[in-house]
Structure 1
Amino acid sequence: MAKIAVVFWSGSGNTETMANAVVEGAEQGGAEVELIRVGDFSADRIADYDGILMGCPACGTEELDEGEFEPFFAEAEGKLSGVKVGMFGSYGWGGGAFMDTWTERVNAAGGAMVADGVTCELEPDDDALERCRALGAAMAKAVG
């Protein structure tokens, strides 16, 4: 059975809600899924999984969380070549442009995006949660 890590950081709980929906979709797709807060995960562990789904909200001026997530992702960039990747996160302003920058970084690192990143404004609604489940299912299919 394919193993997927869902690694996230959440300040308000919105991205955590999205992470839980991503897990649901991946499990429904037949994958073994581990939900991990970014502070409890090391980039060295990426190789232990068949794919990684990462969640982080937009912080500051459309950036990744500088305290925990950005340091993790900066280290992870060197380990993403050929890795199946999916991303999600909420935003409060700026329209979610952080996802475009984040996607460019994954592509530059050689990561293989399984689907477009999923964003939503503030608390995820039913549509956003369904898109999160679809992202999880896309990863399960890609690694299955």
Structure 2
Amino acid sequence: MASLNIIYYSATGNTEEMAKYIAQGAKDAGADVKVINVEEADEKSVNADFLAFGSPAAGAEEIAPEIVEFIESNKDKIFNKTVGLFGSYDWGTGVFMESWVEQLTSENFSIVGEGFINHLAADDDEKIEKCKEYGRKIVL
């Protein structure tokens, strides 16, 4: 059974909610999934077949520093894994995800698709299903 660890930072709960639905999609696809707040994550948190990182858009559409620092400090352990990226945003257009994917791709990370973003919460059936679909996509 494939394993997926989802490591996220959430300021308002929207990204945490996405993480839970992404986890559900990966579980539905047969994966063993752990959802970990980055504030509780350690170097063992990257010990999985697949990883996903979640961040809301912070400031001027930037990745939360907590996630950036975690990835930087564990880069050598993450480098050879398939990684999903997801996040939520309120204002702006969500370009933070495009920048994040470009940055990690330029560092030779294997990113699933173009990442996945939600405007605010995953609070309707369509948004929830898209989260689950991304979870399945990461592990398949």
Tell me how far apart the structure 2 counterparts of residues 136 and 98 of structure 1 sit (CA, whole Å): 20
Aligned to 2:31: 31
1:117 is matched with which residue: 105, 115, 118?
115
SS across alignment from 1:94: coil
SS across alignment from 2:63: coil
Preserved contact between residue 8 and residue 37 of structure 2 (Cα < 8 Å) = yes
Preserved contact between residue 56 and residue 64 of structure 1 (Cα < 8 Å) = yes
Preserved contact between residue 58 and residue 64 of structure 1 (Cα < 8 Å) = yes
Aligned to 1:6: 6
Unaligned runs of 5+ in 2: none
Aligned to 2:40: 40
Aligned to 2:89: 91
Offset, 1:74: 2.4
Aligned to 2:48: 49
Q: How many residue pairs align between the two structures?
A: 139
Offset, 1:40: 1.3
Structure 2 counterpart of 1:108, which letter? S
Tell me how far apart the structure 2 counterparts of residues 122 and 51 of structure 1 sit (CA, whole Å): 25
Tell me how far apart the structure 2 counterparts of residues 78 and 61 of structure 1 sit (CA, whole Å): 28
Per-residue CA deviation, residues 50-103 of structure 1 (Å, 9 max, x unaligned), is: 01011110000011112x222112223443322101011100112100001110
Structure 2 counterpart of 1:96, which letter? G
> 1:86 and 1:122, CA in 2 relative to 1: closer, same or farther beyond 3 A?
same
Between the aligned residues of both structures, percent identity stands at: 34
Tell me how far apart the structure 1 counterparts of residues 34 and 44 of structure 2 sit (CA, whole Å): 16
Offset, 1:119: 0.7
Structure 1 counterpart of 2:26, which letter? A
> 1:83 and 1:107, CA in 2 relative to 1: closer, same or farther beyond 3 A?
same
Tell me how far apart the structure 1 counterparts of residues 73 and 11 of structure 2 sit (CA, whole Å): 21
Say which is worse superposed, 116-125 or 73-82, in terms of deviation.
73-82
Preserved contact between residue 21 and residue 131 of structure 2 (Cα < 8 Å) = yes
Preserved contact between residue 7 and residue 36 of structure 2 (Cα < 8 Å) = yes
User: What is the alpha-carbon root mean square deviation over aligned residues?
Assistant: 1.6
Preserved contact between residue 15 and residue 56 of structure 1 (Cα < 8 Å) = yes
Q: Does 1:63 align with 2:62?
A: yes
